[in-house]
């Protein structure tokens, strides 16, 4: 049987992670989830780190420095949401190029503006900036470590055959915004906000954890790709129904399933969880919770469109096979 820390989905990035875990040996046996978890007395410390690099995760011609900071903070905090954790704060390392602080004819300090964004998203979930580091770099780099606590962590590995698969919110808005920015087209205000200021689903994750969530993962690399990680970690087969996916207006279901950096939550819930509980979730969080599939015995991800099998779109991969 594959060790839990090696049970990741397909892709070049995750092949490299498996190689790293093997190199670390027994010291890697607890790795491979959204957060590192350290038991401290009666509670558990949850920690996650997420790097955002200019030219890979963002472009300065698309986003303000404050938006760059918000996005970097949101990515790390979203991992806490996927564990059902309560955030305490963040540590931030910034890489800053020399002499690139001019915007609109005025002089701004990119470090200060980036940290305004990080602080704003952190404050929005009831936490604060705890410290960090600065270094010179050839490109802008925002590296955020998020720290929280959780009484009952929700790992990727707890899904069981018969569980329903549910997703928070709507998918595809971030992908739509990215496509329009790449094409140099006008981006509607709501779409731009979805791309530039994603919301970590902390309250949603904590509610779902209290209501018996068996497994959870945040959607950073696309629905099908992240579902593959949940399926591998839980050693179940995941069936996704394309027509059930809640889509952003103007986005087709297949594009919504491929869209990355959504930071919604994919969650496996017991069979007894149904429409009444989903309505209660919406009343508390203001978010829709939609059942889009189920878990069964087996392996991998199967996607259907009104009952017809189809190839699931790949998730984002930093190191795709050539």
pLDDT tens digits along 49-66 = 999 999 999 999 999 999
Q: DSSP alpha helices (H): ranges in 96-220? A: 110-124, 173-182, 189-196, 202-210
User: CATH topology for 33-150?
Assistant: 60s Ribosomal Protein L30; Chain: A; (3.30.1330)
Spatial CB neighbours of 76, under 8 Å, sequence gap ≥ 6 = 48, 49, 50, 90, 144, 145, 146
Q: Is 28 exposed, middle or buried (0-12, 13-18, 19+ CB in 10 A)?
A: middle
CA 312 to chain centre: 19
Report the alpha-carbon distance of residue 179 to residue 187 in Å, rounded: 9
3-state secondary structure of 170: coil
- What pLDDT score does 6 carry? 47
Residue 281's alpha-carbon distances to 14, 153, 245, in angstroms, are 33, 19, 18
Residue that wins the pLDDT comparison between 179 and 27: 179
Residue 318 has pLDDT above 50, yes or no: no
CATH top-level class of 156-310: alpha beta
Residue 103 has pLDDT above 80, yes or no: no
Strands 102-103 and 43-53: unpaired
Q: What is the pLDDT of residues 154-170, one digit of tens each?
A: 999 999 999 999 999 99
pLDDT band at 311 (very low <50, low <70, confident <90, very high): confident
- What pLDDT score does 108 carry? 79
**Mean pLDDT: which of 10-14, 225-229, 280-284 is highest?**
280-284
Residue that wins the pLDDT comparison between 311 and 95: 95
Which segments within the chain are labelled E, that is strand? 36-40, 43-53, 86-96, 102-103, 106-107, 128-136, 141-150, 164-168, 215-218, 237-241, 265-269, 289-296, 301-305, 308-310
Residue that wins the pLDDT comparison between 143 and 28: 143
- What pLDDT score does 32 carry? 59
pLDDT band at 30 (very low <50, low <70, confident <90, very high): low
Report the alpha-carbon distance of residue 195 to residue 251 in Å, rounded: 14
Mean pLDDT of the chain: 90
Residue 1 has pLDDT above 50, yes or no: no
Residue that wins the pLDDT comparison between 189 and 104: 189
Residue 105 has pLDDT above 70, yes or no: no
Residue 20 has pLDDT above 70, yes or no: no
- Global confidence as pTM: 0.88
pLDDT band at 77 (very low <50, low <70, confident <90, very high): very high
Query: What stretch(es) of the chain map to CATH 3.90.650.10?
Result: 156-310
Query: What stretch(es) of the chain map to CATH 3.30.1330.10?
Result: 33-150
């Amino acid at each position: 049987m594959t060790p839990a820390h090696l049970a990741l989905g397909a892709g070049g990035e995750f092949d490299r992670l498996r190689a790293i875990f093997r190199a670390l040996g027994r010291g890697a046996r607890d790795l491979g989830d959204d957060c590192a978890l350290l038991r401290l007395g009666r509670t558990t410390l949850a920690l996650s780190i997420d790097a955002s690099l200019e030219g890979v995760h963002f472009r300065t011609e698309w986003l303000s420095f404050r938006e760059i900071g918000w996005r970097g903070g949101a990515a790390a905090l979203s991992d806490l949401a996927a564990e059902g954790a309560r955030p305490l704060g963040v540590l931030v390392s910034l890489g800053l190029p020399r002499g690139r602080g001019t915007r609109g004819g005025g002089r701004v300090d990119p470090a200060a503006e980036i940290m305004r964004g990080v602080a704003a998203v952190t404050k929005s979930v009831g936490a604060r900036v705890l410290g960090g580091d600065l270094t010179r770099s050839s490109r802008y780099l925002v590296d955020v470590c998020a720290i929280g606590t959780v009484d009952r962590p929700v790992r990727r590995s707890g899904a069981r055959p018969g569980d329903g698969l549910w997703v928070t919110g709507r998918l595809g808005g971030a992908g739509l915004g990215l496509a329009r920015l790449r094409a140099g087209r006008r981006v509607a205000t709501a779409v731009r906000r979805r791309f530039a200021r994603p919301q970590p689903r902390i309250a949603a994750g904590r509610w779902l954890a209290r209501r018996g969530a068996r497994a959870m993962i945040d959607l950073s690399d696309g629905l099908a790709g992240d579902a593959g990680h949940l399926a591998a970690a839980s050693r179940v087969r995941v069936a996704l129904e394309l027509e059930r996916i809640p889509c952003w207006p103007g986005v087709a279901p297949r594009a919504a399933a491929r869209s990355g950096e959504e930071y919604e939550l994919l969650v496996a819930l017991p069979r007894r969880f149904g429409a009444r509980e989903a309505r209660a979730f919406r009343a508390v969080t203001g978010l829709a919770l939609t059942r889009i599939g189920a878990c069964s015995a087996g392996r991998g991800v199967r996607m259907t469109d009104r009952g017809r099998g189809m190839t699931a779109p790949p998730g984002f991969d930093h190191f795709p096979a050539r």
